């Protein structure tokens, strides 16, 4: 039985496959097998692989519909039998003594899960000319603290590593939800299990640089790196120094993504980017777009990002764009469905404007909306809101309509105010916990500078993601307000708000998630200070504990009394993502107040997901 299984995913790279296999056949270590996984290729991968299999008995072949790199590697893993796993993409190469050197090290180091080496780049047309790996990679090789090294960026190229099969299987293989950077995610998850890494000196892998390679799409690589990093707090408890490293890298990635997505000199930057995320919105999208192209202000760009709509939305957008070619309209479509909040963030990444203004596909804005909101801007304030109207369609119950009409607003909380201070805003948040008194994104505009300080929308939230983002900004700067109805928010049976309302438990989880951030995130320090300075003080930690226990009991009650156990796994998954909440549900009530303070002091600011 071979000790090493080599997994070779191949998608339309038949022209590289022979060189890849030749680098395997040149190995000084011969006890290997290789599984070629044809991941739905439309070129001649099958024919090329068939000819190679005729000449090399150590080769095996698997064919499947396209599942991406993660799915292809997992498929190969399932068919393999080796003690050690070598991942080798079809367009890359390994040098002759690679397997031999790393197996020798493994025989001496039974405590190690991954052994990696240095690598070199080579040009697509000439395998004899190498370029060294980046200096900041080399500086990390052999680092004693592998976690800190990984938190500031992946430096382990997947085919430079050899990994124990048993450790990969414990993690369930690669994460299928990731379209790139799945190796980075695997290394971090292995670290979370306490697995050790070792460095094998020397260059043992060659990384091909070519136009069709995944690394050539820099914005896409950055997006997926951000996705990997944002998951880290779900499975790793970081100390203060580790959080600082993680935070700095995540902040740099967000800024790099904005820069890479659209290199735009300041002089060429439009005053406002109007962002319109779409998904299955064909019913109302024309009214929305017409309201935007009819704005009295002309120094704008219109960013439309479709999230893989399955109705006629995309076709309509293409037609509309062609008819309005003079409207500075930029149309994009995601490669795969990202989901609501991730698509909002994608819009921001593509926007070039000094100010960002969302208008949702079901909503519309008045012709003077952008101009009036910009007139209300101040040097010290980076977020502006306006009064909004509601448009209730047939089928929305009277009780639901009344619920929306009864929501406190900036107009009712601050009558006549054009500027609400950070302190006044924070007090309103405490008095109206989890109530969006600012309004939906269609009623808000914010300056692009907020991303560096406040990050992006929180993708963990499903309903109050907008209010949490407004609050993250406004507790520092306050918020300007235009007390005129310049935007209209439409509510109908198919709207996201209506759909979310049917899943009340998800909204309850949102509230706990936001309170968690209020208690633990550094960016909410002003809010915590104002809460404690009240008379009597308002203890956000105690409120978090109460809401956490209540949300847990909703799931238990649904299972025990209503015979509906479906909320229990949802609660369990949520709790795994927020380990700081565990003490709130494990301790006896009489011990909670002092215990909460202790936990807060110990955990401090350890559970972050975004930049400071």
Model pLDDT for residues 536-545, shown as the tens digit of each residue: 999 999 999 9
Query: Which pLDDT score is estimated for 471?
Result: 97
500-516 tens-digit pLDDT? 444 578 899 999 999 99
Phi, psi dihedral angles at 77 (to 5 degrees): -60, -40
> Does 51 score more than 90 pLDDT?
yes
pLDDT per residue over 433-443, tens digit each?
989 999 999 99
The predicted model gives 440-458 an average pLDDT of 88
Asked whether 76 and 48 are in contact (CB, 8 A), the reply is no
Instruction: List phi, psi (to 5°) of 463.
Output: -125, -45
Q: Per mean pLDDT, which range of 55-64, 257-266, 292-301, 458-467 is the poorest?
A: 257-266
Q: What's the pLDDT score for residue 102?
A: 97
Res. 610: pLDDT tops 80: no
What percentage of the chain exceeds 90 in pLDDT?
64
Predicted confidence at residue 213, as pLDDT, reads: 53
> Of the given ranges (150-154, 229-233, 341-345, 346-350), which has the lowest mean pLDDT?
229-233
Residue among 511, 579, 591, 504 nearest 547 (CA): 511
Token pair belonging to 103: 């197996």
For residue 603, the model assigns a pLDDT of 35
List, in order, residues 6 or more apart from 118 with CB less than 8 Å away: 133, 137, 138, 141, 160, 201, 202, 203, 204, 205
Span 265-276, mean pLDDT? Answer: 83
Contact 87, 99 (CB under 8 A): no
Look at residue 218 in the predicted model and tell me its pLDDT: 73
Q: What is the mean pLDDT of residues 444-455?
A: 85
Mean pLDDT of 467-476: 96
- Which range, of 65-69, 162-166, 287-291, 601-605, averages the lowest pLDDT? 601-605
Can you tell me which residue has the tokens 């006896």? 588
* Three-state SS at 108: helix
Which range of 217-226, 424-433, 487-496 scores highest in mean pLDDT? It is 424-433
Identify the residue whose tokens are 């998951």: 231
Return the minimum-mean-pLDDT range out of 78-92, 198-212, 490-504, 518-532.
490-504
pLDDT for 166 equals 95
**Confidence bin at 594 (pLDDT 50/70/90):** very low
Q: In this predicted structure, what is the pLDDT of residue 601? A: 40
Q: How confident is the model at residue 380 (pLDDT cuts 50, 70, 90)?
A: confident
4: nearest Cα among 102, 93, 96, 135 = 102
Of 74, 286, 226, 240, the closest CA to residue 165 belongs to 74
Write out pLDDT tens, residues 388-405.
Answer: 999 999 888 898 899 999
Beta bridge mates, 306? 278, 333
For residue 337, pLDDT over 50 is answered with yes
Residue 266 pLDDT: 57
Does 132 or 600 have the greater pLDDT score? 132
CA angle (37 as vertex; 57, 68 as ends), nearest 5: 165
Is residue 326 over pLDDT 90? no
pLDDT recorded at residue 501: 47
pLDDT at 251: 76
pLDDT of 424 reads: 97
- State yes or no: cis peptide before 414, omega within 30 of 0: no
Is the model's pLDDT at 101 over the cut of 90? yes
Give residue 254's pLDDT.
73
Rounded mean pLDDT, 578-606: 52
Q: What is the pLDDT of residues 24-42, one digit of tens each?
A: 999 999 999 999 999 999 9
- Looking at residue 317, its pLDDT comes to 96
Domains and CATH numbers, the chain: 4-214 (3.90.550.10), 262-502 (3.90.550.10), 513-603 (no CATH)
For residues 386 and 372, the answer to whether their CB atoms sit within 8 Å is yes
Residue 342 reports pLDDT greater than 60: yes
Q: What is the pLDDT of residue 129?
A: 67
Tell me the mean pLDDT in the region 302-313.
95
Q: Is the pLDDT of residue 606 over 90?
A: no
Rg of the chain (C-alpha set): 27
Q: Work out the pLDDT band at 324, boundaries 50, 70, 90.
A: confident
pLDDT bracket for residue 217 (50, 70, 90) = low
Closest C-alpha among 378, 353, 339, 337 to residue 299: 353
């Amino acid at each position: 039985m071979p000790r090493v299984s080599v997994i070779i995913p191949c998608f339309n790279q038949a022209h590289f496959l022979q060189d890849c296999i030749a680098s395997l056949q040149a190995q000084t270590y011969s006890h290997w097998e290789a599984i070629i996984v044809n991941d739905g290729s439309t070129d001649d991968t099958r024919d090329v692989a068939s000819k190679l299999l005729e000449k090399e008995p150590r080769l095996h072949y698997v064919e499947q519909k396209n599942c991406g790199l993660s799915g292809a590697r997992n498929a190969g893993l399932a068919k393999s039998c080796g003690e050690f796993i070598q991942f080798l993409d079809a367009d890359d190469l390994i040098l002759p003594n690679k397997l031999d050197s790393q197996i020798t090290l493994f025989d001496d180091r039974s405590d190690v899960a991954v052994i990696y080496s240095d690598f070199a780049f080579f040009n697509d047309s000439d395998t004899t000319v190498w370029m060294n790996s980046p200096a900041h990679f080399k500086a990390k090789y052999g680092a004693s603290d592998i976690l800190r090294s990984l938190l500031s960026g992946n430096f382990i190229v997947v085919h430079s590593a050899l990994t124990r099969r048993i450790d990969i299987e414990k993690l369930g293989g690669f994460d299928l939800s990731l379209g790139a950077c799945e190796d980075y995610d695997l290394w971090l998850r292995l670290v979370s299990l306490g697995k050790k890494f070792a460095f094998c000196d020397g260059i043992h892998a060659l990384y091909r640089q070519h136009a069709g390679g995944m690394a050539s799409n820099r914005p896409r690589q950055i997006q997926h790196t951000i996705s990997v990093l944002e998951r880290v707090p779900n499975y790793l408890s970081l100390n203060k120094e580790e959080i600082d490293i993680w935070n700095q890298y995540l902040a740099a990635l967000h800024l790099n993504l904005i820069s890479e997505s659209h290199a735009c000199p300041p002089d060429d930057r439009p005053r406002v980017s109007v962002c319109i995320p779409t998904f299955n919105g064909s019913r109302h999208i024309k009214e929305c777009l017409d309201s935007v192209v009819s704005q009295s202000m002309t120094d704008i760009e219109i960013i439309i990002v479709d999230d893989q709509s399955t109705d006629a939305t995309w076709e309509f957008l293409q037609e509309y764009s062609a008819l309005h070619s003079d409207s500075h309209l930029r149309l994009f479509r995601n490669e795969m469905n990202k989901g609501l909040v991730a698509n909002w963030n994608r819009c921001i990444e593509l926007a070039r404007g000094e100010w960002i203004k969302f208008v949702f596909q079901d909503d519309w804005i008045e012709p003077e909306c952008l101009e009036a909101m910009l007139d209300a801007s101040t040097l010290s304030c980076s977020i502006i809101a306006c009064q909004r109207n509601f448009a209730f369609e047939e089928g929305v119950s009277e009780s639901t309509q009344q619920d929306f009409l009864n929501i406190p607003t900036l107009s009712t909380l601050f009558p006549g105010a054009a500027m609400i201070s950070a302190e006044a805003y924070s007090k309103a948040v405490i008095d109206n916990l989890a109530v969006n008194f600012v309004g939906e994104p269609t009623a808000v505009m914010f300056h692009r500078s907020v991303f560096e300080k406040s990050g992006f929308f929180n993708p963990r939230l499903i309903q109050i993601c907008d209010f949490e983002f407004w609050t993250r900004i406004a507790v520092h700067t306050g918020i300007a307000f235009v007390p005129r109805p310049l935007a209209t928010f439409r509510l109908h049976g198919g709207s996201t708000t209506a759909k979310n309302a049917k899943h009340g438990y998800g909204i309850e989880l949102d509230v706990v998630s936001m309170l968690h951030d209020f208690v633990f995130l550094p960016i909410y320090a002003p809010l915590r200070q104002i809460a404690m300075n009240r008379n009597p003080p308002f203890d956000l930690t105690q409120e978090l504990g109460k809401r956490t226990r209540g949300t847990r009991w909703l799931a238990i009650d649904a299972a025990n009394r209503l015979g509906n156990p479906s909320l229990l796994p949802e609660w369990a998954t949520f709790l795994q993502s927020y380990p700081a909440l565990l003490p709130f549900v494990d301790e006896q009530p009489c011990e909670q107040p002092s215990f909460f303070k202790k936990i807060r002091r110990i955990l401090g600011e350890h559970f972050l997901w975004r930049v400071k």
